[in-house]
A and B are shown apart, each in its own frame.
Chain A
Amino acid sequence: MKLLTHNLLSSHVRGVGPRGFPLRLQATEVRINPVEFNPDFVARMIPKVEWAALLEAAETVRTLPHARVHLPGEWGGGEWSHRQPRARGGTPGDDLGLCPQLHLVEVPKGPIEGYEHDEKFLRQMHHVLLEVDVLEGTLQCPESGRLFPISRGIPNMLLSDEETET
């Protein structure tokens, strides 16, 4: 599940309505997938993004420990987790055990002026919206507390008959 998808998801538990957004993301396993950068595409997404929800989701991912984040270049995926040792970047003393590949420390707080032509901005947004893939975790309805599982990258949003009956 990409973070752009998460940005569109809303709980449909009976009675919740618009208070079912945004779903609270808890990720336990994430993969970074390189995706071809299309600046036009990203620029058109920007006006559709709910920023507060995106920032909240990005923060959840940013604070994951190393072993739970699969970086590009690793063997396959799925049940395997074999991280090749990578040189830790960043300034000395900045060893918080956080994933160095995620530039999420720099997720823009909102669209900046002239964003359509700002490649740095667009690349950052491209990365956070499209290249972060949540493999395992949960989504929680903020109103009802109902938990929806994410398994192998697929959120299961099925409700029981009682939960949907009108």
Chain B
Amino acid sequence: MAAPRLSGTQCIAMDSNSQSNYKLSKTEKKFLRKQIKARHTLLRHEGIETVSYATQSLVVANGGLGNGVSRNQLLPVLEKYGLVDALLMPPHKPYSFVRYRTAEEAKKAYVTLNGKEIVDDLGQKILLYLNFVEKAQWKELGLQALPPGLMVVEEIISSEDEKMLLESINWTEDIDNQNVQKYLKHRRVKHFGYEFHYENNNVDKDMPLPGGLPGICDSFLEKWLKEGFIKHKPDQLTVNQYEPGHGIPAHIDTHSAFEDEIVSLSLGSEIVMDFKHPDGVTVPVMLPRRSLLVMTGESRYLWMHGITPRKFDTVQASKGLQSGIITSDVGDLTLSKRGMRTSFTFRKVRQTPCNCSYPLVCDSQMKETPPSFPESAREASQLEQDYVHRVYEEIAEHFSSTRHTPWPRVVEFLKSLPCGSLVADVGCGNGKYLGVNKELYMIGCDRSQKLVDICRERCFQALVCDALAVPLCSGSCDACISIAVIHHFSTAERRVAALQELVRLLRPGGQALVYVWAMEQEYNKKKSKYLRENRISQGKEEGTSSDTAMPELLVEQVPNVGSRDSECCVSSVTDLPEGGHKARTVTNAKLPVHTNRTSFPSQDLLVPWHHQGNPGEGKPGHPAGAHDPGPVFHRYYHVFCEGELEATCQTLNSVSILQSYYDQGNWCVILQKV
């Protein structure tokens, strides 16, 4: 018998509602329309060809990871109709493919499940539409959306006006420009209205530049205001000239410097600008010549934008140089050679602090409520939540990229352990030490889900937990390590508790290695690596400092924090255990913010982390253009004085201290459980 042709009509008729007359009711007609629409959408947008005869395989429209349906929800539903050989759920797609053992079983599913309601992971009801397919195959046709608040207006000025604007800029005119050129490797800039300072990515609001915006811009700005392309009249203009091969690193324009609306006119050449969301999504957007890019809301405050320094952009062949997102369909891409592009970026200087809805990337809001020294366990826990855990979640990827070289003495400790040792790494971060010795069974624990995800990507055993409550059996570990972790606990009690937890995990005779940041950065007259790096980097040579990812900098600039290997600190004390150290308890003291690569002002403080969106771009030491940092995060630290770690360990039950030493700006101990 020939394969039965199952049209929509027949399908419905075979439904359990079995009516002997085949006249379609209104609901049935509606369902049929939707099923056909699903079929067309799948073909047009995804290249999926459905067939009208029964096969083993079905495409399940609306039953995909992309529309909130998980494997756990869908598989049991499908398994009711037969043996499922395979369930393919392509990421980010609103459909899946299921293959049954036999066409009979697939038919059963098709008949019963079509138009059936299931509940997605938000509890919302959705209808599934099934169609037969010959095979599970589709084209990647990137159905991305522009970042919210982003708009590109094409042909906003004429070619004549473009020429005029380009000719109006006098690049060689003033000395100020030459000063600015020192900072920027990849492009030329000129400022009008207010000067933009690259050291702190802000404007000096009290020192407007004489002359304001160039006269010729007035008519354009008025026109754009009238036509509704912009809502506010800008008072600052930065003209950037990019030669092919030039770019600008991904950044968010400083919240406190400028108001919401930022617009950029592209002249001379088109370019592809990349927008990056903190979750990792990157959207490449084509900016044609003579177009106006308007960034507001989320696209201005949360997404980073940047231009990769290169000579060719990958663009969509079929759309030519039209604006919009560059497709990810590999069948429709081509290269476009870059020309000289000049941008006119208009902004309005902000006179009041920023109060956007993105506080974690907002410099105004991060400064507003400076945290103080905690006075209770709950305050301590909250402080750590805000200034340790939340920060590591935000910076995980960037942080991980700067933590790639295991410290030799930690490696030495791990390699000295016998084959088959069970070792816990409490505060394992990106798993730097989990693979150092293959003869050990290491389990990593970290508070940050994102960092544990990175461990998992590297195929290590890791779990998410708090260092004060490690979910491993007492006495189960032959050894433990805790490297650069305990200094994140904000009270002495919690630091002791963290150490006690390590000891609990150890079997009798087991050893623990602990590293914490030292107050003394100059020890034995030798400056730590951290302090030593406070100068012009060696530049283009790679590997000058193992954990460095710094672009070239001038002496006065605040260097990119991410490259730090060890921390430094100095002088005064706030909180010390008894043991003969000078102690002065400070009540209700505000935590000072540290300036990187200098000595620390106190033992309890906040250390900035300058987040860079794309650490993968460019190699370490490779000049990445102007230092345009992204948002700054503050991490809480309690840095240890000489002897403090030892003294703390001596208060623990059943331990003896085997070794105590100083290593590159850290105080270290090796403990043994007796």
Contact = CB atoms under 8 A, between A and B. Distances in A.
B381 A161 contact: yes
Interface stretch (B340-348, B363-371, B458-466): B458-466
Interface residues of A, number: 44
Contact of B472 (A10, A83, A85, A152): A10
Contact of B469 (A4, A65, A79, A164): A164
A104 B88 CA distance: 27
B463 A157 contact: yes
A109 interface: no
Report the contact-size class of chain B (Cβ under 8 Å from the partner): 35 or more
B403 interface: no
Contacts of A85: 85
Interface in A4-44: 4-5, 8-12, 18, 21, 28-29, 38, 40-41, 43-44
B229 interface: no
Contacts of B452: 154
A61 B85 CA distance: 19
Contacts of A153: 456
Nearest to B476: A8
Nearest to A9: B471
B312 interface: no
A43 B441 CA distance: 13
Contact of B422 (A8, A18, A81, A164): A8
Nearest to A46: B420
A9 B470 CA distance: 9
Contacts of B468: 164
A90 to B, nearest CB: 16
A12 B470 contact: yes
Contact of A82 (B88, B447, B472): B88
B87 interface: yes
Interface string B118-158: 00000000000000000010000000000000000000000
A52 interface: no
Given A9-B471, A67-B87, A79-B71, A159 B463 contact: no
Nearest to A40: B419
Interface string A136-160: 1000000000001000111111110
A48 interface: yes
B75 interface: yes
Interface in B427-482: 439, 441, 443, 447, 449, 452-453, 456, 461-466, 468-474, 476
A57 interface: no
Contact of A41 (B378, B419, B456, B462): B419
Contacts of A5: 443, 461, 463
Nearest to B420: A44
Contact of B420 (A45, A67, A154): A45
Contact of B453 (A11, A44, A154): A154
Given A67-B79, A81-B87, 16 more contacts: A4-B441, A10-B471, A28-B72, A38-B439, A44-B419, A45-B420, A66-B83, A67-B86, A82-B86, A82-B136, A153-B456, A154-B449, A156-B449, A157-B463, A158-B466, A159-B466
Interface of A: 1-2, 4-5, 8-12, 18, 21, 28-29, 38, 40-41, 43-45, 48, 65-68, 78-83, 85, 97, 136, 148, 152-159, 161, 164
17 contacts: A2-B461, A5-B463, A8-B476, A9-B473, A12-B470, A29-B71, A67-B87, A68-B75, A79-B71, A81-B86, A81-B88, A97-B83, A148-B471, A153-B456, A154-B453, A155-B464, A157-B463
